[in-house]
Amino acid sequence: MKFCQIVDNKVHWIFEADTKPEFAPYIIIKDITNLNPQPQEGWNYDENTDTFSEPVHTVPAPIITMEELQANQLTIMSALADIYVALPPAV
């Protein structure tokens, strides 16, 4: 049989055993033997519906756009060039 441990509403650990082990009452163990698709570590667990779901991975929006980044780099390069021109000649 296949089981998983739930921690903070997430599948924390998946393991196989002949019978469901008895742990402390606060340790949540679910039988996932016949579930399709099989939950994976990191999946969400909904205690109210007794269901598992894949985590939703979202890509955060960039803080600045590529155009802003390029403009900032050009400003920095221009400032560095001005500093270089203002330096006294090396002896």
In sequence order, the β-bridge partners of residue 4 are: 14, 30
Q: Is pLDDT above 80 for 91? A: no
Radius of gyration of the chain (CA): 28
**Whole-angstrom Cα distance, residue 84 to residue 4?**
63
28 forms beta bridges with 6
Mean pLDDT of the chain: 93
Q: Which two tokens stand for residue 89?
A: 């000649």
Residue 88 has pLDDT above 90, yes or no: no
Q: How far apart are CA 11 and CA 45, in angstroms?
A: 7
Q: Give the pLDDT score at 89.
A: 83
Is the pLDDT confidence value at 59 over 90?
no
pTM confidence score: 0.62
C-beta separation of 31 from 2 below 8 A = yes
**Confidence grade of residue 38 (pLDDT, cut at 50, 70, 90):** very high
